[in-house]
Structure 1
Amino acid sequence: MTNYRHVLSKSRYVSGLQCEKKFWIEKNQKDLVPLVSAADQARFDAGHDIGALAQQRFPGGKDATPEEFYNWGPSYEKTKQWIEEGESVIYEAAFFHEGCMAALDIFLKVGDEIHAIEVKSSTKVKPYHLTDSSYQYHIMKSAGYEPDRFFLMHINNQYERNGELDLEQLFTLSDITEEVLELQEGIEDRIENLKLVLQQPERPEVQIGQHCGDPFDCSLKYMCWKDVPNPNVLSIPYLKDKWALFFEGKQRFEDLEESMISPSARPLWRGVVHGESILKTEKLKAFLDTLEYPLYFFDFETIAPVVPLYDGTRPYQAIPVQYSVQVVMGDGVDPYEYNFLASFGNGELPYEELLHAMLKDLGTSGTILAYNQGFEKGKIKLLGSLFPEHKEACDKLLARFNDLIIPFKQKAWYNPDMMGSASIKQVFPSVCPDDDGYSALDIAEGGTASKELLALAQGTVPKDEVEALREKLLAYCEMDTWAMVRIWEEMGKVAN
């Protein structure tokens, strides 16, 4: 019986080319590898869903997916049998050669030609896609099934849904045969080298470098970067030749002269090196004087499904489905809140439901404050174009907007612990250090919020968990606007 034990797959090949130390640890010291993050797991799940959908683009195929993930032997045998029997479409077609396996998303027989298709949830061909496809090609060829053409099947982000999904429009087939063939040079040597790496009794030592984040951010940074100063020169924006400086031993901010730092990054450098803060009270006061009561602190939350759920939307389009508003009527008056979270009851785009609630909650006068207002204003402008009968009301909302990020972008107020960033996640804990903030919430960051909102929209949340999840999402969105209120309050104190 053939021994089908494999040591290399396409993902392991890409991992090994990124870093041999990472590659060795993932195989021989798995306990050192952190658990997959929620964001990465969501990305993997989306990729799996896209793969299943792509199969419908070529219906009627045979599925060689193994019944047990670690037992690919039957899949290799089925693939070989079905090809010999003349099957024209095989999903997860599996190939084996000298300890290396490849599972191809879609195998096509077109006349006398073999067409190989790898499916990705991205909207374009990326360099690492060519790397893993070149590996797939090599294993297929070595197993006796050389592809005549190789395609990457990815998402067409210009597709707009109208009724049932049009899979021919949703997916783009990019012919990458030429690029894959160019990468065949030296591939046997690379594969043999990685096999030898795995056989080493000790893990290889690899110096940190740009490869630690290319093509993927390495999960083992906690180990390899533990002695790297924090902060370090790699985090300084617009710094020329930062890796060269780092390897010269100039790793700390203090190792650099101020003249080497771009003007826009000097507040960051001075904050770290000298503990220098910036407080321009006149600029803060001038900004505050532009605001008119009542104040509406406003924030959207969105979903961005890979596969459009609603007519009139495109892949990855950010769709507002939730908002929070904190309203302050005047000096010394406590804020009160309005919030909205789409019901997702009828499977339709929730724009009209959101628009009616928003027009009521944002009133007709007073300043609307967002944090980095471009997104909120863009979506309100879109709503006005989609509902012409409300365009005038939307235009009036847009005219009332102001942006709470402005004083921080302009460095009218800067503390060293903002670390050069004007984002609300940096500014809020800096100016309101005694507030509990996001750490006390069940949902504490935007990626998780978007993931859970999408689950609600897709109807995949168990019915007995829906209300509890809605409460957690409302609490998260409320914290964003509450943080804005607290920043504004503190701004008023220091300005006066």
Structure 2
Amino acid sequence: MSKPLTKSRFKTALECPNKLFYTSKKEYANNKSEDTFMQALASGGFQVEALARLHYPNGIFINTENYEYDKAVQLTHEALKLENVVIYEAAFQFDGLFIRTDLLVKSGKQIKLIEVKAKSFDPTDENSFIGKRGGLVSDWKPYLFDVAFQKYVVQKVLPQQQVEAYFLMADKTKKAAIDGLNQLFRIPNNGNPRTDIIQKTTSLEEIGASVLSEINVDTIINDIIQNKYKYYENLNFEEAITTFRKAYQEDSYLKWPTQFSACKKCEFKTTPEQEKEGLKSGFKHCFSKQLGWTELEFKKPNAMQIWNFRGKNLMEENRLLMENMIVEDINIKPEAGRIAPSERQWIQVEKAVANDNTIFVEKEALKEEMDKWIFPLHFIDFETSTVALPFTTGRKPYEQVAFQFSHHQYNEDGSIEHKSEYINNTAGEFPNFLFARALKKVLENDNGTIFKFALHENTIINAIITQLEESYETDKKELIDFLKSISKATKNQANPWEGERNMVDLCKVVKDYYYNPHTKGSNSIKAVLPAALNSSNFLKQKYSHPIGNINLSSYNFPSNHIWLQTNGDAVINPYKTLPPLFDNWIVTDLEENISDMENIADGGTALTAYAKLQYVDMPPKEREEITNGLLKYCELDTLGMVMIYEHFKYDIII
């Protein structure tokens, strides 16, 4: 079988049919991770799939390589000769289409096609899949069309069978009946989560009860196939399949109309580094073919770079370049005492068009805000995960898990301490209450202002409060009282509160009072920090010296470490200077390295690193190296917040 349209390619085409031309081509940059191991690991998908198979034990596993289409189909055909059979990863091909199903259960003429998803759902929610207005819920739409594609192929191959479609997923209403559920499925050294899972249980009875539930989605799937719901209004279901298959097999570019939101998040864009490597940009290919853009247009700022901007009709009107925008495109709504979101957007446009890199700041309002802050200042960052299978009895799937924090303290005399840090790298240990105790211990000793960056930390604290309320921890009242004192209730809480030391969101401070053109509209600390460093004479002077010489302590970096590095006149993003993992390992030790990680420099790799510490069997030395990488990364997050504060204090307010 040559180049079949698989279900993964079908899903890619649903995102944007033009992507079929770029996918699988090594010459095109692709910034969406296709590492299925990493995806399965970070999401807990391999564990959900292993648990799902316990719902239908003793199945026949069609264990073939991804490219062995004919072999997989033949083995499936042989298995289906049985009157009653369970098949894992059953393979089917029809007229240039190829699929593998997660679970297939044949009982005579009846077939259950079961898609196992590493997602959670609430069976009591009547609008899980179909919204209140009668349309498919957007978050579920790609998954439902994926299952429709599978059912379409299976029914074509087995026309005499009655095929019904199901999801098998984590159930938000279910709780684990045993401790250590998430440690019953692990990956050995050099193991593959698809084929080499170490399974420490053989039946659902051994774990008391499953946290997965099965839901029949056959009516919705049939409605998709029969065109009640469409992904694209100009294509019915079979037309979409035919169009996508033909384009993919003939390697033709469909020239599907460009669309603002889809193009904005296209993964086939090139970074400057990728361009130097000679990789092509699918984004550029589309825009040169359809909008006639030349290299000149690609170098100019465009509306897709505007923070939180929806685009309106700019693409259709061929006014996508910022230089062609008018103020009415933004609909500015000023707000007293702060930079309104719409004002921020127009400031970005004006400065980008004028090539003006000077900072815009509401100086008096920022000073008024900063005058409220009480020393010592505490800068906090959490690293968290949501695990598919719970750690302990009574926990639900995908509950928040807080496994790490870093804490910098800025004293009134200007000295900076890496005051404390916490990490839990013990496989199978639920860390949240230990985390809360460690946080309480280091923050309860004064009334200094506490800072977070964005809403994440407040969300996590609320989740831990709920977990504590449902627990039997002897100190839960003291912990809850402390956590409430530094947080604000989310909308999910029945009884609202706002603590007297509710954490100040430094990201909101940035949005309200400060715009730096070097951020190109992003308010992530990964963008704000290097922008501040490039704009600040104070930071450049101070952090070009070793940390041991600038009144700064560190748990993870030597006293001769220098944070500020430059490339010509430009400051290098500090996240790109974090030391790589295994940097000082000798070759023989590296040969034993099974984690296949090079660095930890963003939240995604931190999440994957924690998943590896939880579920992959690895030598203690490697576990320690990954742990140290996490500590360094999290320390930079809170030091970066300190640097932004210093930028405000010494470059703007003074």
**TM > 0.5 fold call:** yes
The answer to whether 1:344 aligns with 2:426 is yes
The answer to whether 1:155 aligns with 2:170 is yes
Once the 2 structures are TM-superposed, how far is the Cα of residue 209 of structure 1 from its aligned partner? 2.2
Equivalent residue in structure 1 for 2:443, among 353, 362, 369: 362
Task: Determine the structure 2 residue equivalent to 1:104.
Answer: 101
Amino acid at match of 2:112: H
Task: Determine the structure 1 residue equivalent to 2:533.
Answer: 432
Amino acid at match of 1:141: Q
Change in 2 beyond 3 A, CA 1:252/1:284: same
Which stretches in structure 1 are left out of the alignment for 5+ residues?
A: none
User: In the aligned structure 2, how far is the partner of 1:492 from the partner of 1:38?
Assistant: 43
Task: Determine the structure 1 residue equivalent to 2:329.
Answer: 260
The answer to whether 1:22 aligns with 2:28 is no
Change in 2 beyond 3 A, CA 1:490/1:13: closer
Equivalent residue in structure 1 for 2:304, among 221, 234, 240: 234
Give the percent of matched residue pairs that are identical in Structure 1 and Structure 2.
Answer: 24
**Aligned-residue CA RMSD (Å):** 3.1
Change in 2 beyond 3 A, CA 1:86/1:394: same
User: In the aligned structure 2, how far is the partner of 1:218 from the partner of 1:286?
Assistant: 41
Partners of 2:117 and 2:168 within 8 A in 1: yes
Cα deviation per residue 1:352-373 (whole Å; 9 max; x = unaligned)?
A: 4323322222242132422246
The answer to whether 1:219 aligns with 2:267 is yes
Change in 2 beyond 3 A, CA 1:458/1:450: same
Partners of 2:73 and 2:93 within 8 A in 1: yes
Partners of 1:265 and 1:420 within 8 A in 2: no
My pick for the range that moved more, 472-481 or 429-438, is 429-438
Once the 2 structures are TM-superposed, how far is the Cα of residue 440 of structure 1 from its aligned partner? 0.8
Once the 2 structures are TM-superposed, how far is the Cα of residue 161 of structure 1 from its aligned partner? 2.5
Task: Determine the structure 1 residue equivalent to 2:232.
Answer: none
Change in 2 beyond 3 A, CA 1:457/1:311: farther
The answer to whether 1:408 aligns with 2:485 is no
Equivalent residue in structure 2 for 1:300, among 382, 386, 396: 382
Which stretches in structure 2 are left out of the alignment for 5+ residues?
A: 122-128, 130-139, 182-206, 227-235, 271-280, 285-292, 333-340, 487-498, 535-539, 541-563, 566-573, 579-598
Change in 2 beyond 3 A, CA 1:261/1:48: same
SS of equivalent to 1:51: helix
User: In the aligned structure 1, how far is the partner of 2:156 from the partner of 2:609?
Assistant: 44
Aligned runs of 1:242-281 on 2, under 5 Å? 242=312, 244-263=313-332, 264-274=341-351, 275=356, 277-281=359-363
User: In the aligned structure 2, how far is the partner of 1:74 from the partner of 1:38?
Assistant: 23
User: In the aligned structure 1, how far is the partner of 2:516 from the partner of 2:438?
Assistant: 38
Amino acid at match of 1:153: L
Cα deviation per residue 1:402-461 (whole Å; 9 max; x = unaligned)?
A: 413343232x22222334444322322222224452121142111111211222233544
SS of equivalent to 1:320: strand
Amino acid at match of 2:477: P
The answer to whether 1:483 aligns with 2:524 is no
* TM-score normalised by the chain length of structure 2: 0.67
Equivalent residue in structure 2 for 1:72, among 69, 72, 85: 69
The answer to whether 1:37 aligns with 2:33 is yes
Partners of 2:260 and 2:304 within 8 A in 1: no
Aligned runs of 1:78-93 on 2, under 5 Å? 78-93=75-90
Partners of 1:93 and 1:104 within 8 A in 2: yes
Partners of 2:260 and 2:315 within 8 A in 1: no
User: In the aligned structure 2, how far is the partner of 1:137 from the partner of 1:38?
Assistant: 24
Partners of 1:33 and 1:220 within 8 A in 2: yes
Change in 2 beyond 3 A, CA 1:312/1:288: farther
Task: Determine the structure 1 residue equivalent to 2:551.
Answer: none
Change in 2 beyond 3 A, CA 1:254/1:82: same
User: In the aligned structure 1, how far is the partner of 2:72 from the partner of 2:12?
Assistant: 24
My pick for the range that moved more, 461-470 or 205-214, is 205-214
SS of equivalent to 1:259: helix
SS of equivalent to 1:249: coil
Amino acid at match of 1:308: P
Count of aligned pairs between the two proteins: 486
Cα deviation per residue 1:4-38 (whole Å; 9 max; x = unaligned)?
A: 556222222333444444324436x4443547638
Partners of 1:151 and 1:176 within 8 A in 2: yes
My pick for the range that moved more, 435-444 or 371-380, is 371-380
* TM-score normalised by the chain length of structure 1: 0.86
User: In the aligned structure 2, how far is the partner of 1:463 from the partner of 1:65?
Assistant: 32
Task: Determine the structure 2 residue equivalent to 1:330.
Answer: 412
Change in 2 beyond 3 A, CA 1:52/1:211: farther
User: In the aligned structure 1, how far is the partner of 2:249 from the partner of 2:425?
Assistant: 56
Equivalent residue in structure 2 for 1:390, among 476, 479, 483: 479
User: In the aligned structure 1, how far is the partner of 2:259 from the partner of 2:458?
Assistant: 40
Q: Larger helix proportion, structure 1 or 2?
A: 1
Task: Determine the structure 1 residue equivalent to 2:489.
Answer: none
User: In the aligned structure 2, how far is the partner of 1:221 from the partner of 1:293?
Assistant: 45
Amino acid at match of 1:129: Y
User: In the aligned structure 2, how far is the partner of 1:380 from the partner of 1:21?
Assistant: 43
Once the 2 structures are TM-superposed, how far is the Cα of residue 481 of structure 1 from its aligned partner? 0.8
